[in-house]
């Protein structure tokens, strides 16, 4: 597959911005102030951050057993979605309901975009997908797995069929992968050149530092890198993310707590009358509840904020798995409102 042919001509003609890093004793080349604040040990706020986030990418790449050159950093993974659509352009295709930014960013960039409904089990409707691939001829297909807001993983064999069938790029958004039993698509990057995998640190305790990654063939990384703003992940975020990645055990233990709370929450909700939770591989649970709007408002009045999916999954609410105490508060109030 010739990736360059898929890249928009204006991006193809671009050269990536290079902020050269030259070692020196006195750095006076970039209009930075000599006076800074030591907010965190070893972070110099007076200087621009490493534009290529080398250490951060190296550590993240190591955690996935890929090479650093296959990883690109983003100010959250939604910035990478923006950069990917900027690089390749539309048409952009995605199953619905899903993460709304695929459509919003396509629209903002003036690119054609189309959604197609997931089937009754929230899985890919392959007939519909085949038809849309032929009709729309997408340059980009976004597959969120586990999917937000439904919570389930899409079946891997169906996703694989899409990757094989399309003449465009397939972006597998694994924002919630660490909460899932399903295997990551990262190892398949070796085999399929038209695959991009998205990851984020936002769901594992670091949403505040806005750090995400895409993993792909070097050729794709190099093209998307051209539209990335030079210092997109700031120095504080890089430092905090590096420290967090070094504390992998702590990260894993947090993920495991969420998974076990998710099981408890699901079981409790499944036993409630008038509540239908959908099985989840993510750190949230989608549930159908009678009078969803009223329940949503009732919960909020009692201080519990969940997500009302009125616009994209009518009659459903989405609750994020919190600490055991937070989950108990949610359950108690939901029970009372029912
Ligand atoms: N992808 C999916 C499927 C998401 O649900 C989210 C966040 N809600 C993102 C990407 C964006 O995550 P972030 O920008 O925080 O990395």
What the chain holds in terms of domains, given with CATH numbers, is 3-34+249-337 (3.90.1150.10), 54-246 (3.40.640.10)
Does the pLDDT value for residue 33 go beyond 60? no
Radius of gyration from C-alpha coordinates of the chain: 21
Between 45 and 234, the more confident residue is 234
Determine the residue of 75, 85, 99 to mutate for testing ligand 1's pocket, defined as the one with the most ligand atoms within 8 A of the Cβ atom: 99
Whose alpha carbon is nearest atom 12 of ligand 1? 77
Residue whose pair of structure tokens reads 């057993």 in the numeric block: 65
Determine the residue of 73, 74, 77, 122 to mutate for testing ligand 1's pocket, defined as the one with the most ligand atoms within 8 A of the Cβ atom: 77
Does the pLDDT value for residue 37 go beyond 60? no
Mean of pLDDT over the chain: 92
Q: 153 CB under 6 A from ligand 1?
A: no
Best-predicted range by mean pLDDT among 10-14, 247-251, 273-277? 273-277
Q: 78 CB under 6 A from ligand 1?
A: yes
For residues 141 and 154, the answer to whether their CB atoms sit within 8 Å is no
Render 47-114 in DSSP notation, one character per residue: S---TT-HHHHHHHHHHHT--GGGEEEESSHHHHHHHHHHHH---EEEEES--THHHHHHHHTT--EE
Give the per-residue pLDDT at 15.
80
Atom of ligand 1 nearest to the CA of 176: 3
Three-class SS of residue 243? helix
Between 254 and 294, the more confident residue is 294
**Spatial CA neighbour of 134 closest among 85, 82, 91, 175:** 91
Q: What is the pTM of this model?
A: 0.93
Q: How many Å lie between the centroid of ligand 1 and the Cα of residue 145? A: 11
Q: 175 CB under 6 A from ligand 1?
A: yes
Give the per-residue pLDDT at 78.
95
Q: What are phi and psi of 199, to 5 degrees?
A: -135, 160
For residues 106 and 92, the answer to whether their CB atoms sit within 8 Å is yes
Give the per-residue pLDDT at 190.
96
Determine the residue of 81, 97, 101 to mutate for testing ligand 1's pocket, defined as the one with the most ligand atoms within 8 A of the Cβ atom: 101
**Spatial CA neighbour of 52 closest among 207, 243, 221, 244:** 221
d(CA 57, CA 267): 38
Does the pLDDT value for residue 27 go beyond 70? yes
d(CA 70, CA 228): 15
Least confident stretch, 39-43, 168-172, 214-218, 243-247: 39-43
Q: How many Å lie between the centroid of ligand 1 and the Cα of residue 78? A: 6
Q: How many Å lie between the centroid of ligand 1 and the Cα of residue 231? A: 20
Give the per-residue pLDDT at 30.
65
- Average pLDDT (170-189) is 96
Atom of ligand 1 nearest to the CA of 200: 16
Whether omega for the bond prior to residue 176 falls within 30 degrees of 0, making it cis, is no
Atom of ligand 1 nearest to the CA of 81: 10
**Spatial CA neighbour of 228 closest among 95, 32, 75, 114:** 75
d(CA 304, CA 336): 13
Q: 152 CB under 6 A from ligand 1?
A: no
* 182-220 pLDDT per residue, tens: 999 999 999 999 999 999 999 988 888 999 999 999 999
Determine the residue of 202, 203, 280 to mutate for testing ligand 1's pocket, defined as the one with the most ligand atoms within 8 A of the Cβ atom: 202
């Amino acid at each position: 597959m010739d990736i360059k042919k898929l890249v928009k001509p204006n991006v193809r003609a671009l050269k990536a911005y290079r902020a050269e890093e030259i070692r020196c004793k006195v750095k006076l080349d970039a209009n930075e102030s000599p006076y800074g604040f030591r907010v965190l040990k070893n972070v110099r706020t007076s200087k621009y951050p490493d534009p290529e986030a080398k250490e951060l990418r190296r550590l993240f790449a190591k955690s996935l057993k890929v090479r650093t050159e296959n990883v690109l950093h983003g100010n959250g993974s939604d910035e990478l979605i923006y950069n990917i659509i900027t690089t390749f352009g539309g048409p952009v295709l995605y199953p619905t309901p899903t993460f709304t930014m695929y459509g919003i960013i396509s629209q903002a960039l003036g690119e054609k975009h189309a959604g197609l409904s997931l089937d009754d089990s929230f899985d890919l409707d392959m007939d519909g997908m085949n038809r849309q691939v032929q009709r729309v001829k997408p340059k980009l297909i976004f597959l969120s797995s586990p999917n937000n807001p439904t919570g389930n993983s899409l079946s891997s064999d169906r996703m694989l069929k899409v990757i094989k069938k399309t003449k465009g790029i397939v972006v597998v958004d694994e924002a919630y992968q660490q909460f899932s039993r399903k295997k990551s698509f990262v190892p398949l990057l070796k085999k399929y050149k038209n695959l991009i995998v998205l990851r984020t640190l936002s769901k594992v305790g670091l949403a505040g530092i806005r750090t995400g990654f895409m993993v792909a063939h070097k050729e794709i990384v190099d093209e998307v890198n051209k539209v990335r703003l030079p210092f997109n992940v700031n120095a504080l975020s890089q430092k905090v993310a590096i420290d967090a990645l070094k504390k992998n055990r702590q990260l894993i233990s947090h993920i495991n707590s969420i998974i076990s709370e998710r099981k408890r929450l699901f079981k409790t909700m499944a036993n409630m009358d008038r509540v239908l939770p959908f099985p989840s591989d993510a750190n949230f649970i989608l549930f159908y509840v009678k009078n969803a709007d009223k329940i949503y408002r009732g919960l909020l009045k009692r201080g519990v904020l969940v997500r009302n999916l009125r616009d994209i999954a009518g009659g459903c609410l989405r609750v994020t798995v919190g600490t055991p105490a937070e989950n108990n508060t949610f359950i108690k109030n939901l029970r009372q409102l029912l």
